[in-house]
Structure 1
Amino acid sequence: MASIDLRDELSCSICLNIYTDPVTLSCGHNFCRDCIGRVLDTQDQAAVFSCPDCRAEFPEHPALHRNITLRNIAERFLSTRPELTSEVSCTYCLHSQVPALKSCLHCEASLCEDHLRAHSKSPEHVLSGLLTNPKSIKCSIHKKILEYYCSEDAACICVYCSARLHRGHKLEMVDEASIKKKDRLRKVLDTLTSKKEQIDKRHKSLQERRKKEQKKAAGLNEKVMDMFRDLRRHLDDLEKKVLNEIFRQEEQVTASFSKLIHQVQEEKDELTKKLAHVEELYHTADPLTVLQEQESERDDFCDIDEAGDDDCREDDKKKKIVWDPDMILITKSLHSLSEMIRHMRRGLYLQTSTDIVLDISTAANDILISDDLKTATSSQVNENRPKTPERFREYQVLSLTSFSAGQHFFEVDTSDSNSWRVGVCYPSISREGDQFMNGKNEKSWCLRRYEKVYSLNHNKRATNLGHRITCHRFRVYLDYGAGQLSFYELCDPIRHLHTFTSTFSEPLHVLISVFQGSVTITN
């Protein structure tokens, strides 16, 4: 009963056999390496990994740790119960397949427990461990048990073969030769197992890289979709803005024409009345009536002449009222659109950020630099670094890397500070004095935050941002050859804040100023 219980503890729940090269999952359950490997390969298609016993789920392909202690226990158990390793059936149980326990070399038969008790006990009936084919351990020529192993001919031989056919050869007992070969096989097995583990690691690494690339592609897909959504919104806003401006100008010109048309209509009506009166007078038969209207007629004629002059002047005015649409707004809108497309191209094609670390030899003594050289923190404790020409008097630190060509960008996280400046500068910037601060001289450009106010600074000139900042992560993009330095807010979608344009004459270093809290370079 104890043997049966132990066998249950040493059986793989997948193949139901004694463990072969057992491995352990992080949940604590054990399986044959090949068995759990096939199960996990099947689960890999669904990208969901779980333990077949407890159904515990793993976020990625679980690591398989060899359980050497359990393997040794299983091997020792099998060595004491050889019948468990074989599927050989009793030769004499014809009506059912009963597992055999021993083999008789004389009968060349395998025996179950019942037939073993009834088997002959005579000396020629030699019992051995269970054999799949009892004939295989006898010499095919002399029909004697194969007791020796000839290493020169790599053959198992009987006592007669050793005295005749293999005289003078190096011989060993079969058991001894088997032990030596098993030792060699164990080394081969360990080598193959090590190689398989390496292959498993490579397989896992490739799967992780594939998922990483898929995630990258999904991120790029989402980024492009966000960009085009933002572009469509921008186009809609520009269209409405331009159409409203055209409509406003049209209304203005139309009102001018309507006023002029009304004036001309009034003059036309007045002229029609005068024309009717003169025509009536002209057709009057009574001479006295015609003569009595003489003064009035003269006045009417004078009015007509004057009206004619006015008409000429009004014609001149009408020639001047020609609609010339204001193209300035349209041009600005198209320029804004081209700028947006240019920034989109930057966002799409410049995917790899530049690795930036801070140069502690330039850090002011009130700035604490992290061990990874990525974070600058305002400190109330003097760091007592040696005074050198490269070190800033206070607040600031340069990057170790400089840029003198090409396109580069870096990103910062400012969530732990409400007073800072982030930008670039020439290495010749002053380290102390009145103009060493980032953005307060012609050698530096920066984005600045002071409390809740954000501004762009260069050469003592500051431009406040007109919209509300919604996050604390920013990207600084440098196109050295084009002479452009751009700042972006890394919200969703990414928002362009400002672009400085200049002709750079020296290499540019990243320059960070911290007055409270800390600023971290995140790439």
Structure 2
Amino acid sequence: MAESGDLHEDQFRCSICLDLLKDPVTVNCGHSYCMTCIKGCWDQEDHAGVYSCPQCRQTFSQRPVLGRNTMLAEVVEKLKKAELPPAPVDHCYAGPGDVICDVCTGRKNKAIKSCLVCLANYCETHLKIHKGHRHKMVNSIGKLQEKICSRHKKLLEFYCCTDQQCICYLCRIVDHRGHDTVSVGAARTEKQTGLQQRIQQREKEVQELREAVESLTVSMEQRRRQQLAAGRAI
């Protein structure tokens, strides 16, 4: 099939199971899922009382009522009759230290990109589905929400030495103009260097204390022997 056809057909795959939509439902934010898939996701969120869209992460304080999207179901049926090939399988499972895909259910795949709009991480397969949104994507980032400016929704790429906080490039231009700022990487390297120096200094102090204790112990032992010798002489 042509590449444009693949991109069009991907819009009718459920981003949870990666298969063609079954009993498609569309949630309030506009994204569509299989009825059973989205119900399964929200069943796991019942304890928190806040429900979210697996793709854009929009939250709903009340569980949305789901209704079958009849028009979308008809389109999917036409695609099935056109013998659409099965969804590709991604076996790149996440390992220790890997950033995991926020959309995968069950065993998580390794995320390769992070969306700065949705604040979510995507594996290779889910990324193909998400690309239709044309959002700003970067290489996968662990704990993504902690590394995004809450005001400007940009990456915290700089560290303000004046205010001692991480900032984005818009903060640097507007709120921290004229401040002493460096890249986050440079700040991290400087802190690591300073930490290493403090560790070395502490090790030196411990060694000096150990030598002082040993010297005092030897001195006390010599004095004890001298006292014993003087007692015998009397």
Q: TM-score, normalised by structure 2?
A: 0.42
Structure scoring higher RCO (CA < 8 A, sep ≥ 6) equals: 2
Q: Tell me which protein shows more strand as a share of its residues.
A: 1
- Bigger radius of gyration among the two: 1
Q: TM-score, normalised by structure 1?
A: 0.21
